[in-house]
A = this chain, B = another copy of it.
Amino acid sequence: MATRELGLARRIHVWARRPETRRACAEKIWCDAVFPEAVDAVRDSDLVVLCPPVDAIVPLLRQVSPAVETGALVTDVGSTKSRICRLGSHIVPKEAIFVGSHPMAGSEKSGMEHAAKDLFRDRACLVTPLEESPSGQVDKLVEYWKSLGMEVTTMSPEKHDEIVAQISHLPHLLASLLALHLSRKPEAWQAFCGNGLRDTTRIAAGNSGIWRSIFEENKEELLRAIDGFEVELGRMRSALHNGEWAHVRHLLEQGKSYREGLD
């Protein structure tokens, strides 16, 4: 939608797994052609963007790679990068290139009905080349996301996974576990839940299959993030237990400063 709006492509070819989605796409003005087979959507393309859940990206790339053109640039929009980028660079034909992307937009909602042409504007996008990725192609991909209005940073796939484990996957896990924990309490308590809890748990409403896959792909970094969080939780627990109220306030104040810095 944004690519058409901004005139970044001559033709936009679409494949989607579900027939209903393909039918819906065929009616959109931003879509020039819809293909029942992914491999046919990829043929003749300069830029291929793979957008399934993270566990389906590598299988999809294997399926379409015979049709990837010489000189074509293939990317994905998965929330994890290490495994996908290492495998992806070997799967695409030698004359093409795979470089991972992670446009950090979206919300707890998924599906085409939540598409918006300004979804990417002013949001962060991480592009994750390997050391051997040709810089000209990497620059082209960076320019594509910038043209959509994104703030692009490049880094290694491993650094990406370390960062998102902390700033995205850990928050999702905590929001989800808080909701899970409260789901075991009497249902009547829900009437007393305020906007604070609603905000804190909002992302727990995200698709459980998508997040299961993200957690699986980024398991090691996520476990490290949990370990780090547990240290903080343990410290706070001790401070509460021992009645160290000045320290408790100091910890709360540090959290407050960080949060205010995000606005």
The chain A residues found within 8 Å of chain B, CB to CB, are 104-105, 107-108, 123-124, 126, 151, 153, 163-164, 166-168, 170-183, 185, 189-209, 211-212, 215-216, 219, 222-223, 226, 228-230, 232-233, 236-237, 240-241, 243, 245, 248-249, 251-263
Contact = CB atoms under 8 A, between A and B. Distances in A.
Given A174-B174, A226-B233, A252-B208, A124 B181 contact: no
Most interface-central of A199, A200, A215, A222 (chain B CB within 10 A) = A200
Nearest to A126: B192
Contacts of A182: 166-167, 258
A191 B122 CA distance: 11
Given A163-B192, A248-B212, A204 B258 contact: yes
17 contacts: A104-B194, A164-B192, A171-B201, A176-B251, A176-B252, A177-B229, A179-B258, A180-B232, A196-B202, A201-B258, A201-B259, A202-B259, A204-B256, A219-B240, A219-B241, A226-B240, A230-B233
A180 B258 contact: yes
Q: Is the interface of A mostly helix, strand, loop or mixed?
A: helix
A254 B183 contact: yes
Nearest to A201: B259
Nearest to A124: B192
A253 B223 contact: no
